[in-house]
Amino acid sequence: MSGTFSVIHRDTSCSARLGSLKTDHGVIETPIFMPVGTNATVKAMTPEDLLAVEARIILANTYHLYLRPGHRLVEQMGGLHSFMNWDGPILTDSGGFQVFSLGELRKISEEGVKFQSHLDGSYHMLTPELAVHVQEALGADIIMCFDECPPATAEYGYVSRSLDLTARWAERCKKAHGREGQQLFGIIQGGMHFDLRARSIADICSIGFDGYALGGLSVGEEKEQMYGVMECCSPLLPQDSPRYIMGIGAPEDLMEAIWHGYDMFDCVMPTRNARNGMLFTSRGRVNIKSKLYENDAGPLDPDCICKVCKNYSRAYLRHLYRAGEILASQLNTYHNLHFYLDLIRRAREAIQENRFDLFRRQFYSQYPRNNNLKEDN
């Protein structure tokens, strides 16, 4: 729709593709992973650190920034880019997933969602129009439609009604959106039901957006269900628009999503797990808390060239974590994000050379597939 995205190469071995997404704050090469900066900061990372690990776009959260410090204050400060000293592209989610996560603290209606703040118990009504207006005030390069995200266990009838509501809200979002240079993405729902996903794609694409996102994944379903939804939706989505899968983040999930032709991903997994001592390496995850590493003088990942692996031992990283040192979160997060973004960089190189099929198989030969990695709380 916008002409800001182009597919520049398709791998001949699978559906993986390279893309170029133009924004007012730079061009993004896809596939790309977006670190999550919920409160206008990627936890434990400075903007300079993000540049060092080659982050090209980050995600901020509408729900949280609406509640604190408030979108009007951010707007007065010159928008998110100025406020957080990040000159690269920013994507904001609509707040729909956070509202879904509130459970009994929210009530859904045609108008929108009435919810109770997790901060002070105050009541708010978030409508599609307000979600767009908040994101416009924040000044993100890419914003998301407001949607309802049903749980993976929701029964068929509920999911059917929910995606119809999401489509009506999407129409209202598009009508409300007016900020020049800001791209608006529509969100596909439908749970684990292939026919409902197809219907949602038809409905959302008929409205017309700058990009399209799969919502409602990584919400408790089995891996194979998730991959099945990826596979069924890929051929139905527009070929000339960016495709974003929201909230997926295990390395094997990224491999499968790229394999099926998706372009953009985000998840708190690398940052949240870093703060809980769970680190990602080329040979699988490492629980740095384990006594196994008490006397280990070796690097966290011998194949990694990040500053953490070049300069610090596993024994030291374990000591920092067990001592409760702030440096533990800083180093662990730096490494995890470097691992993710380097993995995606190498995936792009493989696609360019028409060898992503081989790259994927080599990845799995070292990294345990479907290891049921859970996000630590």
Distance, CA of 274 to chain centre? 16
Q: What is the pLDDT of residues 255-310, one digit of tens each?
A: 999 999 999 999 999 999 999 999 999 999 999 999 999 999 999 999 999 999 99
Does 375 fall in a domain? no
* Among 11, 93, 253, 263, the one annotated catalytic: 93
Distance from C-alpha of 307 to C-alpha of 24, rounded to nearest angstrom: 31
Neighbours of 366 (CB within 10 A): 11
Asked if residue 294 and residue 155 are part of one domain, the reply reads: no
Catalytic annotation present for 266 = yes
- Same structural domain, 70 and 197: yes
Q: Which residues pair with 124 in a beta bridge?
A: 115
Count of domains observed in the chain: 2
Give 366's contacts (C-beta < 8 A, 6+ positions apart).
Answer: 282, 283, 284
The whole-number pLDDT of residue 369 equals 67
Residue 296 sits at the vertex; the CA angle it makes with 376 and 369, to the nearest 5 degrees, is 45
Same domain? 143 vs 161: yes
Pick the closest to residue 2 from 17, 18, 16, 23 (CA basis): 23
Per the CB < 8 A criterion, the answer to whether 82 and 90 are in contact is no
Regarding whether 259 and 155 lie in a shared domain, the answer is yes
93 is catalytic: yes
DSSP-derived pairing of the beta strands 90-93 and 58-61: parallel
Same-domain pairing of 229 and 360: no
Pick from 110, 129, 2, 151: nearest CA to 62: 129
| Portion of the chain with pLDDT greater than 70, in percent | 97
Residues 137 and 246 in one domain: yes
Q: What is each CA distance from 263 to 18, 93, 115, 233, in whole angstroms?
A: 8, 16, 32, 13
145-174 pLDDT per residue, tens: 999 988 888 999 999 999 999 999 999 999
Q: Indicate which residue of 147, 203, 210, 266 is catalytic.
A: 266
Q: Cα separation of 275 and 258, whole Å? A: 27
| Binned average pLDDT, 10 residues per bin, the chain of 377 residues | 83 97 98 97 98 98 96 98 98 84 82 92 95 98 95 92 97 97 97 97 98 94 96 97 96 97 98 98 96 98 98 98 98 98 98 97 86 36
Residues 258 and 290 in one domain: no
Q: Are residues 213 and 230 in the same domain?
A: yes
- Contact (Cβ atoms closer than 8 angstroms) between residue 266 and residue 250: no
Q: Which two tokens stand for residue 11?
A: 């791998």
Nearest Cα neighbor of 328 from 285, 268, 269, 276 is 276
Dihedral sign from CA coordinates of 117, 192, 265, 321: positive
Beta-bridge partners for 287: 278
Same domain, 330 and 244: no
In a domain, 37, yes or no: yes
- The span from the CA of 186 to the CA of 215, in Å, is 10
Is 283 within the bounds of a domain?
Answer: yes
Q: Are residues 138 and 75 in the same domain?
A: yes
Domain-embedded: residue 116: no
State which of 203, 237, 267 marks the end of a domain: 267
Domain termination site, one of 250, 267, 284: 267
The set of residues, in sequence order, having a beta carbon less than 8 Å from that of 353 and lying 6+ positions away, is none
Query: Torsion angle of alpha carbons 12, 233, 280, 97, nearest 10°?
Result: 150
Tokens 């870093």 found at = 274
The maximal CA–CA distance of the chain, rounded, in angstroms, is: 61
User: Of the candidates 267, 295, 323, which is a domain's last residue?
Assistant: 267
Instruction: Please name the residue that has the structure tokens 């409602």.
Output: 216
Contacts of 307 (CB under 8 A, 6+ apart): 52, 334
Q: Which domain holds residue 43?
A: 5-98+128-267
